[in-house]
Structure 1
């Protein structure tokens, strides 16, 4: 028995082995969840040997190397951990410059979904996890340094040999060796430098806009007398039309909608747009579509809203329309709203909704349509209205899912109270990805059904509606980490409206196929102006 115990590893040996394994994992950990598999760790990281050699440096120089390596290792793991999250939500790596606001945005979302205490608890857990990670990096490197220094010559010889072998394999094209951890750290550094340059360059060119100094004469002449609605549908992405478990049901909803609207004399055209964001940050999409500038970061957005660049809203106002915004998600002060050129902004507090919220969603889409119609499209002599709507019933947490009411019952919204208190809780829905996807799909179908019902109930020759997704849902919801495209639909009773956009080559109906045009979202403003303005008066050739 004593002989057997002699060969059991000591606690120090276990800690040393754990340190070497931990360093190996830290250097080979992928930065995307879909890449994490046993095969991902069949890899020879060249940084492993370089770190070991630097830890062998004697004296204070070696201690200094350990501290520098601790900072680099901790930062590398933190950034890759952040990449894991942002790839799942926004389909891109974490950006040190542009994503600093994500903590505040995430906190607000968690507060709305789970409550103040849960949001605070998650924040504290993240802070503790970051501190613990840095501490583990330090302890790991110190343990490895202590081990290597016991036999420095042997350790150095082994590390140099492994490094030479790894370099030879890498140069020969073998794909299971390299400097992945270092490469990712360098890429983040390069991205940071590029982002800072982008801020400066964009700020210098954002005011270069041919429309910012134009008068309203001739603008939108082909839409004279018509009410124009630009509708941003939350999380309405192309994947809903093409990927399961969404496509069959959503396509059936769109097909039925197309038939119903066509029977009522509505003409439709559809295509796709490439959004500047995925999974959130909806205001970047609004800004891109309405300003004609590519706004793919918070810093670009901040540069835009202090610029003189003309938005579609402001141009409509200059041409004689009353411009309004229906923004049910705005519950705080929104100083950026002044940039767009609205005559009136309806938000969560002044839209007259007296019903209960649907968790984070302050009011259901049907109320937004109904309240806007009552306030802006009622009977009597008035200016035509250009309205921007930001529908949010299809925003997470997607529970409870609203249901259509007869329009005459909508009133001040209290008729929705029973719906607002029904269904599963967010915690129950988000316990299973299949449940999340099912509720997400249902909320999208509700958004589409409400749109169709409104056009059928209140549409006429003087209503033009353009509906576009603001961005696709997060990749872990859609199952597609590369897709940034959203559907866009143009609806009008007046065939002249559709004739005006013949050059766009958008497809008839509400179901664009693989051959449908795909525009970047910032192209929409100028195409809209060209199509609907009087070319001779505005000098558009």
Structure 2
């Protein structure tokens, strides 16, 4: 039988005042401390939230009518903070960085749908309902004065003193101000993003290298192919549980390449993003400008600018972009000026999709070699191409078998045989250890089929770059990962690799010795590297 508000109030008043204060403070304190969970990837070091002490004192000293009004204000504020903390947690898990509302407002829905699409819907709904119930109960109880006003002033004073101490960094141990920290982090993030935006705008206006195409004479007549391996970061080779799956494949590829008199060097570069937003990594690599969020992406495309696409076109290359994940109209892609863009429909794939993955990477490489690499005009123009591979994109299920048989590929219908392979995402993602295992296998698959393309089609007139596009989500890497990715470069001409060796790349597929993130060159450096190092054929 449900109780009326009057009956609930009588029962509350029947509880001794000290107990009511303690219970209410504990409930409210727990809510505020929960706001700290995203920043610490678990419970924070604080045991007492000063905001809870301030509110307990404030409600005690206010007249009942004012307290009722404040009750609704506090409930709304707590709900807003809880939602902010929730999306902060999602951003840290999926993008490996804190939420920045200023730059991420357009991504919140996509991030939420991506993660909830891989988790049980009922569980998500129950968690949200429980959060709302706890917030409502805490504020309703707090709005009923339960201590003398004198004690309320003591609580209020202590809480304000604690917040002041927090502001100057002299607060007692085991105390925190989670709500203040959460809001401050957003304000600081907005200021930093606006500073970066101003710096980018200045460079786009003032840097002459961004205005006109610059031919790459040293790569004239050379096919330059960039095959971006989705979610392939240095963690894949540094964390033992992934390395033990991936390194044997790289060792086999090393032997296969050597048997074909092909050479490989490996280095690391820093992607502008982690966990997702691959298009920002693509734009950074092509433009020579660090593009870290959607606003900067839009600013880059406000007017015509030169990128590697125009540079290679000026060198005499046919340019092509293969983007099998693109399923809608893509005007942003056309801005780069590719001679040809093959999206999902343009790939003419008739096999099954595999959840988020529209088609296997092995098919993408086959389609590239069949329809793109040959000069479409019937001549001998070299190609500059980028392939945004997708098989190692979350949710990492299913992991396909490698066919390694071009004659069987046709239009992709052969992959129907593997359509039911592997668990559905909502099943797989109930066990994060299995998710991590599937991640390693998915990256292994993408590296294997990309390496097989290199084995069969790279020659002395080909420069093949095989970088990761970004690190995977923090669920895979752990908190606060490096944003570096492996970059493998393969060619039949060892001289074409010499400039990369001079930049610190090592022979083979092994990563060079680790350095601090600040010393790792970024994707934005690649365009200048090519111009500095390939003014003539090495």
Q: TM-score with structure 1 length normalisation? A: 0.86
Query: How far did 1:10 drift?
Result: 4.3
**2:194 counterpart of 1:190:** no
User: In structure 2, what is the equivalent of residue 156 of structure 1?
Assistant: 153
Q: Is the 8 Å Cα contact of residues 90 and 112 (structure 2) preserved in structure 1? A: no
Relative to 1, partners in 2 of residues 1:111 and 1:376: Cα closer, same or farther, differing over 3 Å?
A: farther
User: In structure 2, what is the equivalent of residue 365 of structure 1?
Assistant: 361
CA distance in 2, matches of 1:173, 1:165: 6
Q: Is the 8 Å Cα contact of residues 237 and 247 (structure 2) preserved in structure 1? A: yes
**2:407 counterpart of 1:403:** no
> Gapped runs of 5+ residues in structure 2?
1-9
Q: Is the 8 Å Cα contact of residues 96 and 192 (structure 1) preserved in structure 2? A: yes
Query: Superposed, which structure 2 residues align to 1:297-446 within 5 Å?
Result: 297-378=293-374, 381-405=379-403, 406-446=405-445
1:45-90 Cα deviation digits (max 9, x unpaired): 2222222333223376655554544444333322222222211111
Relative to 1, partners in 2 of residues 1:368 and 1:269: Cα closer, same or farther, differing over 3 Å?
A: same
CA distance in 2, matches of 1:173, 1:160: 14
Query: How far did 1:287 drift?
Result: 1.1
User: In structure 2, what is the equivalent of residue 272 of structure 1?
Assistant: 268
**2:463 counterpart of 1:464:** yes
CA distance in 2, matches of 1:470, 1:523: 15
1:473-526 Cα deviation digits (max 9, x unpaired): 111123343221110111100122112434312111111132477312211121
Q: How many residues align?
A: 515
Deviates more, 1:491-500 or 1:230-239: 491-500
SS of the counterpart of 1:98? helix
CA distance in 1, matches of 2:140, 2:356: 47
CA distance in 1, matches of 2:366, 2:170: 67
The equivalent position to 1:221 in structure 2, one of 214, 217, 236, is 217
Q: Is the 8 Å Cα contact of residues 208 and 309 (structure 1) preserved in structure 2? A: no
Q: Is the 8 Å Cα contact of residues 31 and 83 (structure 1) preserved in structure 2? A: no
Q: Is the 8 Å Cα contact of residues 64 and 145 (structure 2) preserved in structure 1? A: no
Q: TM-score with structure 2 length normalisation? A: 0.86
CA distance in 2, matches of 1:233, 1:173: 47
CA distance in 2, matches of 1:274, 1:192: 23
SS of the counterpart of 1:97? helix
Relative to 1, partners in 2 of residues 1:33 and 1:499: Cα closer, same or farther, differing over 3 Å?
A: closer
Q: Is the 8 Å Cα contact of residues 505 and 512 (structure 2) preserved in structure 1? A: no
Relative to 1, partners in 2 of residues 1:331 and 1:18: Cα closer, same or farther, differing over 3 Å?
A: farther
CA distance in 2, matches of 1:345, 1:112: 29
Query: Superposed, which structure 2 residues align to 1:509-524 within 5 Å?
Result: 509-515=508-514, 518-524=520-526
Q: Is the 8 Å Cα contact of residues 112 and 359 (structure 1) preserved in structure 2? A: no
CA distance in 2, matches of 1:103, 1:25: 25
CA distance in 2, matches of 1:195, 1:173: 29
User: In structure 2, what is the equivalent of residue 49 of structure 1?
Assistant: 53
Q: Is the 8 Å Cα contact of residues 271 and 281 (structure 2) preserved in structure 1? A: yes
CA distance in 2, matches of 1:165, 1:339: 53
Relative to 1, partners in 2 of residues 1:135 and 1:111: Cα closer, same or farther, differing over 3 Å?
A: closer
CA distance in 2, matches of 1:193, 1:212: 26
CA distance in 2, matches of 1:33, 1:165: 20
Relative to 1, partners in 2 of residues 1:189 and 1:374: Cα closer, same or farther, differing over 3 Å?
A: same
Q: Is the 8 Å Cα contact of residues 221 and 534 (structure 1) preserved in structure 2? A: yes
Q: Is the 8 Å Cα contact of residues 254 and 510 (structure 1) preserved in structure 2? A: yes
CA distance in 1, matches of 2:460, 2:287: 27
User: In structure 2, what is the equivalent of residue 26 of structure 1?
Assistant: 31
Deviates more, 1:466-475 or 1:155-164: 155-164
CA distance in 2, matches of 1:75, 1:171: 26
**2:239 counterpart of 1:237:** no
Relative to 1, partners in 2 of residues 1:191 and 1:477: Cα closer, same or farther, differing over 3 Å?
A: same
1:169-196 Cα deviation digits (max 9, x unpaired): 9976643124232122122123234434
User: In structure 2, what is the equivalent of residue 293 of structure 1?
Assistant: 289
1:227-270 Cα deviation digits (max 9, x unpaired): 11011110001011010311122122212212221222111111
CA distance in 2, matches of 1:105, 1:163: 39
SS of the counterpart of 1:314? helix
Q: Is the 8 Å Cα contact of residues 328 and 363 (structure 1) preserved in structure 2? A: yes
SS of the counterpart of 2:345? coil
Deviates more, 1:435-444 or 1:479-488: 479-488
1:106-134 Cα deviation digits (max 9, x unpaired): 466479869xxx88x899x49x939x857
Q: What do you get for the CA RMSD once the two structures are aligned? A: 3.1
User: In structure 2, what is the equivalent of residue 36 of structure 1?
Assistant: 42
Q: Is the 8 Å Cα contact of residues 317 and 341 (structure 1) preserved in structure 2? A: no
**2:77 counterpart of 1:80:** no
